[in-house]
Amino acid sequence: MPSRRTVLAAAALLPLAVGARPASAAPKTVQDYYDRAAKLAGDDPVLKALVKALSPDLQMPAVQPVKPFKIFDNVAVVGTTFVQAMALLTSKGVILIDAMGSPDDARKIIIPGLRAVGVNPTHIKYVVAAHGHDDHFGGAQYLADTYGARVMMHKADWDLIAKERPEHAPKRDLEITDGQKLTLGDATIVFHHRPGHTPGTVSPVFPVRWKGRRHTAILWGGTNPPATTAAKRTYLSSVRTAAVAMRKAGVDVELNNHGGADYGLTRIEQLRAGATKNPFIIGPARTQRFMKVMETMLRGRILQDQQKAASGRSTPTCC
């Protein structure tokens, strides 16, 4: 007859013996990673949107205009449902993060959009391209030529566009370095190099105010996972580094230049409809969960790449 101790030990093993893996078990398949990310997201619409944005079957939204709006006392958003630019309003002028796709976008969307929310576009001092893809820098040179704004991008992405020579590329101007601070009037923005989406993607952290109260925001500079497995690994490492830095900096606001990726477009509309709580202020814990969802989805994407490589298949990736 087995001893009482043996019976208890066997009972403790029972869930594994019948095949039910405990929730904490390490994911083994691509689907395990995606399921875990979905579980982390739960019914949080911001995190659910992120899971979708990082899925291999991502569909971009149809391009529609977005009515400009001030989502914080000191942040205005202009753009379309595809891509947005954010203006950080300081006591000494405007730092514009991203510049959409073309000089036409600058002329027809950014400039009138800023005016519509009471921001004078002649006050744009800096145009920061979060990364070197044309939907983020296309209007930059026009704003530089028109208002004397300086254009900033990480060196790796200045190099990228020097090599690829895309249409509407701005002339090489100021280089962003990791950890660099830019102070304009009453605001200091910190640029963090978070390579992955491109080699020179930058995710700035900056102070925002909502009804006079100060918060700390991150704008994730490039979301769509890149084509190669090596670049996805770089992205994964950036996500992990960023999460630690964000915890230290007390980041409680999450922004994205593609508002379809993080429920941002809906959150703008919630604010426009008079939401009293700002839905972009998600708090430090949810911000960390956001990064964990990113990390988990990327691990799944990397494993998926490895399996495809092993089976000799490859999928072209865009953007």
Give the footprint of Zn ion on this chain (CB under 5 A): 133, 135
Minimum CB distance to Zn ion, residue 97 (Å): 12
Minimum distance from residue 222 beta carbon to Zn ion (Å): 5
Measure the N-to-C terminal CA separation of the chain; round to a whole number of Å. 66
Q: Are 114 and 87 in contact (CB under 8 A)?
A: yes
Nearest-angstrom CA–CA distance, 304 and 51:
15
Element (H, E) at 184: strand 181-184
Q: Which is nearer to Zn ion, 161 or 205 (CB)?
A: 161
Residue whose beta carbon is closest to Zn ion: 133
Instruction: Note whether 127 and 87 are within 8 A (CB).
Output: no
Backbone angles phi, psi at 13, to 5 degrees: -85, -10
DSSP state for residue 42 in the 8-state scheme:
T
Q: How far is the CB of 260 from Zn ion (least distance, A)?
A: 10
Q: In Å, what is the CA distance from 154 to each residue of 160, 222, 266?
A: 10, 13, 30
Of 80 and 304, which has the nearer Cβ to Zn ion? Answer: 80
Q: How far is the CB of 130 from Zn ion (least distance, A)?
A: 8
Contacts of 254 (CB under 8 A, 6+ apart): 46, 217, 218, 220, 262, 280, 282, 286, 287, 290
> Based on CB atoms, which residue is closest to Zn ion, 207 or 222?
222
Nearer Cβ to Zn ion (85/182): 85
User: Closer to Zn ion at the Cβ: 198 or 278?
Assistant: 198
Nearest CB to Zn ion, comparing residues 30 and 53: 53
Nearer to Zn ion, 82 or 280 (CB): 82
| Cα–Cα distance, 218 to 148 (Å, whole number) | 26
Question: Contact, 216 vs 205, CB < 8 A?
Answer: yes
Residue 76 bridge partners (DSSP):
70, 87
Q: How far is CA 300 from the centre of its chain?
A: 18
Beta-carbon contacts of residue 162 (< 8 Å; ≥ 6 apart): 172
Kindly tell me which of 160 and 208 has the beta carbon lying closer to Zn ion.
Answer: 160
Cβ 221 to Zn ion, closest distance in Å?
Answer: 9
Give the nearest distance from C-beta 27 to Zn ion in angstroms.
27
Task: Tell the smallest beta-carbon distance from residue 92 to Zn ion (Å).
Answer: 29
CB of 61 to Zn ion, least distance (A): 12
305 burial via Cβ count (<10 Å: 0-12, 13-18, 19+)? buried
